[in-house]
Protein backbone atom coordinates (compact mmCIF):
# COMPACT_ATOMS: atom_id res chain seq x y z
CA UNK A 1 0.00 0.00 0.00
CA UNK A 2 1.27 3.46 -0.90
CA UNK A 3 1.93 6.25 1.56
CA UNK A 4 0.52 9.74 1.98
CA UNK A 5 2.76 12.78 1.90
CA UNK A 6 2.86 12.91 5.70
CA UNK A 7 3.65 9.21 5.99
CA UNK A 8 6.56 9.52 3.55
CA UNK A 9 8.11 12.36 5.57
CA UNK A 10 7.74 10.41 8.83
CA UNK A 11 9.17 7.25 7.30
CA UNK A 12 12.24 9.10 6.06
CA UNK A 13 12.84 10.67 9.47
CA UNK A 14 12.38 7.34 11.21
CA UNK A 15 14.89 5.64 8.89
CA UNK A 16 12.22 3.28 7.57
CA UNK A 17 11.29 2.27 4.04
CA UNK A 18 7.62 2.63 4.82
CA UNK A 19 5.15 3.29 7.63
CA UNK A 20 1.43 2.73 7.99
CA UNK A 21 -1.36 4.43 9.90
CA UNK A 22 -1.33 3.59 13.59
CA UNK A 23 2.33 2.53 13.66
CA UNK A 24 4.46 3.88 16.51
CA UNK A 25 7.77 5.37 15.37
CA UNK A 26 10.64 7.43 16.70
CA UNK A 27 11.57 10.20 14.28
CA UNK A 28 14.49 12.59 14.06
CA UNK A 29 13.53 16.26 14.42
CA UNK A 30 14.57 19.19 12.28
CA UNK A 31 13.23 21.84 14.66
CA UNK A 32 11.88 22.08 18.21
CA UNK A 33 9.83 25.18 19.01
CA UNK A 34 8.70 26.80 22.23
CA UNK A 35 7.28 30.13 23.35
CA UNK A 36 7.23 32.18 26.54
CA UNK A 37 4.31 30.21 28.01
CA UNK A 38 5.29 26.64 27.16
CA UNK A 39 9.09 26.82 27.22
CA UNK A 40 9.52 27.38 30.99
CA UNK A 41 7.73 24.09 31.71
CA UNK A 42 9.98 22.31 29.20
CA UNK A 43 13.07 23.96 30.65
CA UNK A 44 12.21 22.80 34.17
CA UNK A 45 11.74 19.27 32.80
CA UNK A 46 15.01 19.22 30.87
CA UNK A 47 16.80 20.37 34.01
CA UNK A 48 15.61 17.16 35.71
CA UNK A 49 17.11 15.00 32.96
CA UNK A 50 20.64 13.71 33.09
CA UNK A 51 21.65 15.35 29.83
CA UNK A 52 24.53 17.59 28.93
CA UNK A 53 22.96 20.52 27.13
CA UNK A 54 20.64 20.35 24.11
CA UNK A 55 20.86 18.12 21.07
CA UNK A 56 21.56 20.94 18.60
CA UNK A 57 21.48 24.64 19.46
CA UNK A 58 20.72 25.47 15.80
CA UNK A 59 17.59 23.30 15.73
CA UNK A 60 15.74 24.87 18.65
CA UNK A 61 13.65 28.02 18.31
CA UNK A 62 12.47 29.94 21.37
CA UNK A 63 10.11 32.78 20.53
CA UNK A 64 8.82 35.23 23.13
CA UNK A 65 5.45 36.19 21.67
CA UNK A 66 2.42 35.49 23.85
CA UNK A 67 2.81 38.08 26.63
CA UNK A 68 5.66 40.13 25.18
CA UNK A 69 6.41 42.91 25.96
CA UNK A 70 5.64 41.49 29.38
CA UNK A 71 2.22 42.34 30.75
CA UNK A 72 2.87 41.45 34.40
CA UNK A 73 5.39 39.99 36.83
CA UNK A 74 4.54 36.38 36.02
CA UNK A 75 5.08 36.84 32.30
CA UNK A 76 8.33 38.68 33.00
CA UNK A 77 9.53 35.76 35.13
CA UNK A 78 8.67 33.30 32.36
CA UNK A 79 10.66 35.27 29.81
CA UNK A 80 13.58 35.61 32.20
CA UNK A 81 13.63 31.82 32.59
CA UNK A 82 13.73 31.28 28.83
CA UNK A 83 16.23 34.07 28.27
CA UNK A 84 18.67 32.56 30.78
CA UNK A 85 18.26 29.08 29.26
CA UNK A 86 18.86 30.42 25.76
CA UNK A 87 21.98 32.23 26.93
CA UNK A 88 23.33 29.23 28.86
CA UNK A 89 22.92 26.86 25.90
CA UNK A 90 23.75 29.45 23.22
CA UNK A 91 20.46 28.84 21.41
CA UNK A 92 20.88 30.32 17.94
CA UNK A 93 17.23 31.06 17.25
CA UNK A 94 16.13 32.96 20.34
CA UNK A 95 13.77 35.83 19.58
CA UNK A 96 13.02 38.41 22.25
CA UNK A 97 11.65 41.96 22.24
CA UNK A 98 12.84 43.84 19.17
CA UNK A 99 13.46 40.69 17.17
CA UNK A 100 10.48 38.52 17.96
CA UNK A 101 7.23 38.09 16.10
CA UNK A 102 4.31 35.71 16.43
CA UNK A 103 6.10 32.36 16.24
CA UNK A 104 4.15 30.75 13.38
CA UNK A 105 4.64 33.77 11.16
CA UNK A 106 8.23 34.38 12.25
CA UNK A 107 9.72 30.92 11.64
CA UNK A 108 8.77 30.61 7.94
CA UNK A 109 9.82 34.23 7.41
CA UNK A 110 13.24 33.44 8.92
CA UNK A 111 13.62 30.33 6.76
CA UNK A 112 13.72 27.97 9.74
CA UNK A 113 10.96 25.71 8.36
CA UNK A 114 11.22 24.09 4.93
CA UNK A 115 9.59 21.33 2.91
CA UNK A 116 10.26 17.80 4.12
CA UNK A 117 11.01 18.82 7.72
CA UNK A 118 9.67 17.18 10.86
CA UNK A 119 8.89 19.93 13.37
CA UNK A 120 7.39 19.82 16.84
CA UNK A 121 6.36 22.81 18.88
CA UNK A 122 4.88 23.29 22.30
CA UNK A 123 2.02 25.24 20.78
CA UNK A 124 -1.01 23.70 19.11
CA UNK A 125 -0.76 25.84 15.99
CA UNK A 126 2.66 24.44 15.08
CA UNK A 127 0.73 22.66 12.31
CA UNK A 128 1.08 25.94 10.33
CA UNK A 129 4.29 24.81 8.60
CA UNK A 130 2.47 22.12 6.64
CA UNK A 131 1.75 24.93 4.18
CA UNK A 132 5.41 24.61 3.15
CA UNK A 133 5.25 20.83 2.70
CA UNK A 134 6.61 19.97 6.16
CA UNK A 135 5.21 17.65 8.82
CA UNK A 136 4.68 19.88 11.83
CA UNK A 137 2.55 19.34 14.89
CA UNK A 138 1.94 20.63 18.37
CA UNK A 139 3.13 18.72 21.43
CA UNK A 140 3.16 19.16 25.19
CA UNK A 141 5.98 20.85 27.05
CA UNK A 142 7.35 17.51 28.29
CA UNK A 143 7.68 16.27 24.72
CA UNK A 144 9.34 19.56 23.86
CA UNK A 145 11.85 18.94 26.63
CA UNK A 146 12.59 15.45 25.33
CA UNK A 147 12.95 16.85 21.82
CA UNK A 148 15.41 19.54 22.94
CA UNK A 149 17.46 16.92 24.79
CA UNK A 150 17.48 14.10 22.23
CA UNK A 151 16.42 15.53 18.86
CA UNK A 152 13.82 12.79 18.60
CA UNK A 153 10.11 12.33 19.24
CA UNK A 154 7.63 9.45 19.29
CA UNK A 155 4.67 9.57 16.93
CA UNK A 156 1.72 7.41 16.08
CA UNK A 157 1.60 7.63 12.30
CA UNK A 158 -1.69 9.36 11.40
CA UNK A 159 -4.18 8.21 8.82
CA UNK A 160 -5.28 10.92 6.39
CA UNK A 161 -8.20 12.81 4.91
CA UNK A 162 -7.85 14.19 1.39
CA UNK A 163 -9.34 17.59 0.61
CA UNK A 164 -9.53 18.19 -3.14
CA UNK A 165 -9.73 21.94 -3.76
CA UNK A 166 -10.98 22.95 -7.20
CA UNK A 167 -11.96 26.18 -8.89
CA UNK A 168 -10.98 29.82 -8.43
CA UNK A 169 -12.12 31.65 -5.28
CA UNK A 170 -14.16 34.85 -5.66
CA UNK A 171 -12.63 38.25 -4.89
CA UNK A 172 -12.93 38.35 -1.08
CA UNK A 173 -12.57 34.61 -0.43
CA UNK A 174 -9.35 33.83 1.42
CA UNK A 175 -7.71 30.90 3.13
CA UNK A 176 -9.66 31.80 6.29
CA UNK A 177 -13.00 31.35 4.54
CA UNK A 178 -11.85 28.03 3.09
CA UNK A 179 -10.72 26.52 6.39
CA UNK A 180 -13.77 27.83 8.25
CA UNK A 181 -15.94 26.22 5.56
CA UNK A 182 -14.08 22.91 6.02
CA UNK A 183 -14.32 22.99 9.82
CA UNK A 184 -18.00 23.83 9.56
CA UNK A 185 -18.41 20.86 7.24
CA UNK A 186 -16.55 18.18 9.22
CA UNK A 187 -16.66 19.58 12.78
CA UNK A 188 -14.02 20.32 15.39
CA UNK A 189 -13.27 16.60 15.77
CA UNK A 190 -13.80 15.65 12.13
CA UNK A 191 -10.09 15.07 11.54
CA UNK A 192 -9.13 13.86 15.01
CA UNK A 193 -5.46 12.76 14.96
CA UNK A 194 -5.53 12.63 11.18
CA UNK A 195 -3.40 14.31 8.56
CA UNK A 196 -5.41 16.84 6.55
CA UNK A 197 -3.85 16.70 3.08
CA UNK A 198 -4.86 19.42 0.61
CA UNK A 199 -4.61 18.79 -3.14
CA UNK A 200 -6.28 19.88 -6.37
CA UNK A 201 -6.09 22.52 -9.08
CA UNK A 202 -7.65 25.11 -6.75
CA UNK A 203 -4.41 25.31 -4.78
CA UNK A 204 -2.81 27.22 -7.65
CA UNK A 205 -5.11 30.15 -6.80
CA UNK A 206 -4.02 30.20 -3.15
CA UNK A 207 -1.17 32.43 -2.01
CA UNK A 208 1.33 31.19 0.54
CA UNK A 209 -0.43 33.32 3.14
CA UNK A 210 -3.72 31.56 2.31
CA UNK A 211 -2.06 28.17 2.74
CA UNK A 212 -0.41 29.13 6.02
CA UNK A 213 -3.84 30.17 7.33
CA UNK A 214 -5.45 26.88 6.28
CA UNK A 215 -2.67 24.73 7.75
CA UNK A 216 -2.69 26.83 10.91
CA UNK A 217 -6.29 25.90 11.65
CA UNK A 218 -6.01 22.16 10.92
CA UNK A 219 -5.87 21.69 14.69
CA UNK A 220 -9.29 23.34 14.97
CA UNK A 221 -10.72 20.31 13.14
CA UNK A 222 -8.78 18.03 15.48
CA UNK A 223 -6.09 17.33 12.87
CA UNK A 224 -2.65 16.05 13.79
CA UNK A 225 -1.32 18.17 10.95
CA UNK A 226 -2.30 19.88 7.74
CA UNK A 227 -0.10 19.69 4.67
CA UNK A 228 0.10 21.06 1.13
CA UNK A 229 2.04 19.70 -1.85
CA UNK A 230 5.18 21.57 -2.86
CA UNK A 231 4.51 23.56 -6.02
CA UNK A 232 6.11 26.56 -7.71
CA UNK A 233 4.54 28.94 -5.17
CA UNK A 234 6.10 26.94 -2.33
CA UNK A 235 9.48 26.75 -4.00
CA UNK A 236 9.53 30.48 -4.69
CA UNK A 237 8.73 31.19 -1.02
CA UNK A 238 11.37 28.77 0.27
CA UNK A 239 14.05 30.11 -2.04
CA UNK A 240 13.24 33.69 -1.04
CA UNK A 241 13.33 33.02 2.70
CA UNK A 242 15.64 30.10 3.44
CA UNK A 243 19.16 28.98 2.70
CA UNK A 244 18.41 25.46 3.95
CA UNK A 245 18.00 22.63 1.45
CA UNK A 246 14.53 21.17 1.28
CA UNK A 247 13.08 17.81 0.31
CA UNK A 248 9.94 17.36 -1.76
CA UNK A 249 7.69 14.41 -0.93
CA UNK A 250 4.63 13.41 -2.92
CA UNK A 251 1.81 11.07 -1.99
CA UNK A 252 1.73 7.75 -3.81
CA UNK A 253 -1.10 7.27 -6.33
CA UNK A 254 -2.38 4.35 -4.23
CA UNK A 255 -2.09 6.12 -0.88
CA UNK A 256 -4.98 5.31 1.43
CA UNK A 257 -7.29 7.99 2.83
CA UNK A 258 -10.03 7.58 5.42
CA UNK A 259 -12.20 10.13 3.62
CA UNK A 260 -12.09 12.36 0.55
CA UNK A 261 -13.89 15.69 0.18
CA UNK A 262 -14.11 17.83 -2.96
CA UNK A 263 -14.61 21.57 -2.43
CA UNK A 264 -15.33 23.95 -5.31
CA UNK A 265 -13.71 27.17 -4.14
CA UNK A 266 -15.68 29.21 -6.66
CA UNK A 267 -18.88 28.47 -4.73
CA UNK A 268 -17.66 29.66 -1.34
CA UNK A 269 -18.95 32.81 0.36
CA UNK A 270 -17.36 34.85 3.17
CA UNK A 271 -17.73 32.64 6.23
CA UNK A 272 -17.92 33.47 9.93
CA UNK A 273 -17.62 31.12 12.92
CA UNK A 274 -20.13 32.03 15.62
CA UNK A 275 -19.53 31.47 19.34
CA UNK A 276 -18.35 29.26 20.85
CA UNK A 277 -16.72 26.79 18.42
CA UNK A 278 -14.94 27.18 15.08
CA UNK A 279 -17.40 24.64 13.59
CA UNK A 280 -20.38 26.93 14.25
CA UNK A 281 -20.14 28.56 10.84
CA UNK A 282 -22.51 30.67 8.79
CA UNK A 283 -22.02 32.37 5.45
CA UNK A 284 -22.25 36.14 5.41
CA UNK A 285 -25.76 36.09 3.88
CA UNK A 286 -27.05 33.95 6.77
CA UNK A 287 -25.94 36.21 9.59
CA UNK A 288 -28.44 39.00 10.09
CA UNK A 289 -27.84 42.13 12.15
CA UNK A 290 -25.18 41.53 14.83
CA UNK A 291 -23.64 44.67 16.38
CA UNK A 292 -20.07 44.40 17.66
CA UNK A 293 -17.80 46.20 20.11
CA UNK A 294 -14.32 45.29 18.87
CA UNK A 295 -12.39 44.10 15.83
CA UNK A 296 -9.00 42.35 15.99
CA UNK A 297 -6.93 41.88 12.83
CA UNK A 298 -3.78 39.85 13.46
CA UNK A 299 -2.55 36.61 15.08
CA UNK A 300 -0.60 33.62 13.76
CA UNK A 301 -3.62 32.94 11.53
CA UNK A 302 -4.12 36.31 9.84
CA UNK A 303 -1.43 38.82 10.78
CA UNK A 304 0.65 38.53 7.61
CA UNK A 305 1.28 41.23 5.03
CA UNK A 306 -1.43 40.06 2.64
CA UNK A 307 -3.95 40.14 5.49
CA UNK A 308 -2.99 43.72 6.34
CA UNK A 309 -3.10 44.71 2.67
CA UNK A 310 -6.66 43.40 2.32
CA UNK A 311 -7.79 45.15 5.50
CA UNK A 312 -6.11 48.42 4.49
CA UNK A 313 -7.72 48.33 1.03
CA UNK A 314 -11.15 48.25 2.67
CA UNK A 315 -10.39 50.87 5.36
CA UNK A 316 -8.49 53.27 3.09
CA UNK A 317 -9.96 56.77 3.25
CA UNK A 318 -12.74 55.71 5.61
CA UNK A 319 -13.42 55.80 9.35
CA UNK A 320 -14.21 52.96 11.72
CA UNK A 321 -17.65 53.07 13.30
CA UNK A 322 -17.84 55.51 16.20
CA UNK A 323 -17.45 53.72 19.53
CA UNK A 324 -15.85 50.62 17.98
CA UNK A 325 -12.37 49.50 19.04
CA UNK A 326 -10.20 48.24 16.16
CA UNK A 327 -6.84 46.62 16.95
CA UNK A 328 -4.37 45.69 14.21
CA UNK A 329 -1.40 43.48 15.08
CA UNK A 330 1.30 42.82 12.45
CA UNK A 331 2.63 39.33 13.04
CA UNK A 332 6.36 40.15 12.82
CA UNK A 333 8.67 43.14 12.86
CA UNK A 334 9.35 42.65 9.13
CA UNK A 335 5.63 42.60 8.36
CA UNK A 336 5.28 45.77 10.45
CA UNK A 337 8.04 47.45 8.43
CA UNK A 338 6.65 46.28 5.10
CA UNK A 339 3.16 47.45 6.07
CA UNK A 340 4.58 50.81 7.11
CA UNK A 341 6.43 51.25 3.82
CA UNK A 342 3.30 50.26 1.90
CA UNK A 343 1.29 52.90 3.78
CA UNK A 344 -1.00 50.41 5.53
CA UNK A 345 -0.09 51.60 9.03
CA UNK A 346 -1.04 55.16 8.18
CA UNK A 347 -4.30 53.89 6.68
CA UNK A 348 -5.18 52.03 9.89
CA UNK A 349 -4.37 54.93 12.17
CA UNK A 350 -6.17 57.50 10.03
CA UNK A 351 -9.20 55.18 9.95
CA UNK A 352 -9.28 55.19 13.76
CA UNK A 353 -7.62 51.86 14.50
CA UNK A 354 -4.61 51.25 16.71
CA UNK A 355 -1.55 49.28 15.62
CA UNK A 356 0.24 47.05 18.14
CA UNK A 357 3.70 45.59 18.39
CA UNK A 358 3.78 41.95 17.20
CA UNK A 359 2.21 39.79 19.89
CA UNK A 360 -0.34 37.00 20.37
CA UNK A 361 -1.97 39.36 22.88
CA UNK A 362 -5.75 39.25 22.73
CA UNK A 363 -6.04 35.92 20.87
CA UNK A 364 -5.64 33.90 24.07
CA UNK A 365 -7.09 36.49 26.41
CA UNK A 366 -3.65 37.81 27.29
CA UNK A 367 -3.74 41.58 26.81
CA UNK A 368 -4.12 44.23 24.09
CA UNK A 369 -7.87 43.77 23.73
CA UNK A 370 -9.59 41.83 26.53
CA UNK A 371 -13.38 41.70 26.28
CA UNK A 372 -15.79 42.69 29.04
CA UNK A 373 -19.10 41.02 29.88
CA UNK A 374 -21.52 40.80 26.93
CA UNK A 375 -19.07 42.37 24.48
CA UNK A 376 -18.72 41.00 20.97
CA UNK A 377 -15.57 40.86 18.85
CA UNK A 378 -14.98 40.03 15.20
CA UNK A 379 -11.52 38.52 15.15
CA UNK A 380 -9.16 37.05 12.56
CA UNK A 381 -7.77 34.70 15.20
CA UNK A 382 -8.34 30.93 15.30
CA UNK A 383 -10.39 30.12 18.41
CA UNK A 384 -13.66 31.44 19.80
CA UNK A 385 -14.08 29.27 22.89
CA UNK A 386 -15.94 30.49 25.97
CA UNK A 387 -13.79 33.11 27.71
CA UNK A 388 -11.03 32.81 25.11
CA UNK A 389 -10.65 36.59 24.74
CA UNK A 390 -11.82 37.72 28.15
CA UNK A 391 -15.08 37.52 30.09
CA UNK A 392 -16.92 34.19 29.92
CA UNK A 393 -20.01 36.07 28.79
CA UNK A 394 -18.27 37.75 25.86
CA UNK A 395 -18.53 36.49 22.27
CA UNK A 396 -15.95 35.99 19.52
CA UNK A 397 -16.82 35.74 15.83
CA UNK A 398 -14.00 34.34 13.70
CA UNK A 399 -13.67 35.87 10.24
CA UNK A 400 -11.30 36.81 7.45
CA UNK A 401 -9.43 40.14 7.37
CA UNK A 402 -11.85 41.33 4.67
CA UNK A 403 -14.93 40.67 6.81
CA UNK A 404 -13.21 42.07 9.90
CA UNK A 405 -12.31 45.31 8.13
CA UNK A 406 -15.77 45.66 6.59
CA UNK A 407 -17.33 45.08 10.00
CA UNK A 408 -15.09 47.77 11.48
CA UNK A 409 -16.73 50.32 9.19
CA UNK A 410 -20.34 49.36 9.91
CA UNK A 411 -20.14 48.35 13.57
CA UNK A 412 -21.80 45.02 12.79
CA UNK A 413 -20.75 41.81 11.06
CA UNK A 414 -20.63 42.78 7.40
CA UNK A 415 -19.41 41.64 4.01
CA UNK A 416 -16.93 43.83 2.15
CA UNK A 417 -18.38 45.83 -0.71
CA UNK A 418 -17.82 44.44 -4.17
The separation between CA 399 and the C-alpha centre of its own chain, rounded to angstroms, equals 14
Q: What is the pLDDT of residue 417?
A: 83
Quick one: which H or E segment has residue 165? strand 160-166
Q: What is the pLDDT of residue 281?
A: 97
Spell out the alpha helix ranges (H) of 242-281. Answer: none
Q: What is the pLDDT of residue 403?
A: 98
Question: Which residue segments constitute the domains of the chain, with CATH numbers given?
Answer: 5-263 (3.30.499.10), 274-410 (3.30.499.10)
For residue 395, is pLDDT > 90? Answer: yes
The mean of the pLDDT values for the chain is: 96
DSSP strand pairing (195-199 vs 160-166)? parallel
**Cα dihedral sign, 370-376-378-384:** positive
Bridge partners (DSSP) listed for residue 165: 263
Q: What is the pLDDT of residue 352?
A: 97
Q: How confident is the model at residue 20 (pLDDT cuts 50, 70, 90)?
A: very high
Sequence-distant (≥ 6) Cβ neighbours of residue 162 within 8 angstroms: 197, 199, 257, 259, 260, 261
Spell out the alpha helix ranges (H) of 201-315. Answer: 208-216, 232-241, 299-302, 305-315
Cis status, amide bond into 30, omega within 30 of 0: no
Cis status, amide bond into 276, omega within 30 of 0: yes
Residue 199's CB is within 10 A of a number of other CB atoms, namely 17
Phi, psi for residue 363 in degrees, rounded to 5: -55, -40
Quick one: which H or E segment has residue 347? helix 344-351
Q: What is the pLDDT of residue 52?
A: 83
131: nearest Cα among 202, 233, 60, 223? 233
DSSP strand pairing (93-95 vs 60-63)? parallel
Q: How confident is the model at residue 50 (pLDDT cuts 50, 70, 90)?
A: confident
Q: What is the 3-state secondary structure (H, E, C) of 137-206?
A: EECCHHHHHHHHHHCEEEEECCCEEEEEEECCCCCCCCHHHHHHHHHHHHCCCCCCCCEEEEECHHHHHC
pLDDT digits (tens, 9 = 90+) for 115-148: 999 999 999 999 999 999 999 999 999 999 999 9
pLDDT digits (tens, 9 = 90+) for 324-377: 999 999 999 999 999 999 999 999 999 999 999 999 999 989 899 999 999 999
Residue 142's CB is within 10 A of a number of other CB atoms, namely 14
Side-chain half-sphere CA neighbours of 186 within 13 A: 25
1, 182, 249, 364 from 252: Cα distances, Å: 9, 24, 9, 39
**Mean pLDDT on 237-262:** 96
Angle, CA of 368, 374 and 375, to the nearest 5°? 35
Q: How confident is the model at residue 412 (pLDDT cuts 50, 70, 90)?
A: very high
Quick check: 140 and 229 in contact, CB under 8 A?
Answer: no
For residue 6, is pLDDT > 80? Answer: yes
Q: How far apart are CA 384 and CA 62, in angstroms?
A: 26
pLDDT digits (tens, 9 = 90+) for 254-273: 999 999 999 999 999 999 99
Q: What is the pLDDT of residue 104?
A: 97
Q: Report the percent of the chain where pLDDT is more than 90.
A: 96
Amino acid sequence: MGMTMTQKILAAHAGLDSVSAGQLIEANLDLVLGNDITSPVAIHEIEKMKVDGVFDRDKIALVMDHFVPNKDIKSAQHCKCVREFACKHEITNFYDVGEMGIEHALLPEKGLTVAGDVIIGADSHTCTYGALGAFSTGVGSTDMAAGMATGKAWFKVPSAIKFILTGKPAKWISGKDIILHIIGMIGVDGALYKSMEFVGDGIAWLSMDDRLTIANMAIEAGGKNGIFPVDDTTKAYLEAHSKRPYQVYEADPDAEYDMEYTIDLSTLKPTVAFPHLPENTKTIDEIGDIPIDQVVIGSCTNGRLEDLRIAASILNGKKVKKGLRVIVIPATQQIYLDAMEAGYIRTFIEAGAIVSTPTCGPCLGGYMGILAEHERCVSTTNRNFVGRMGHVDSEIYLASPAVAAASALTGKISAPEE
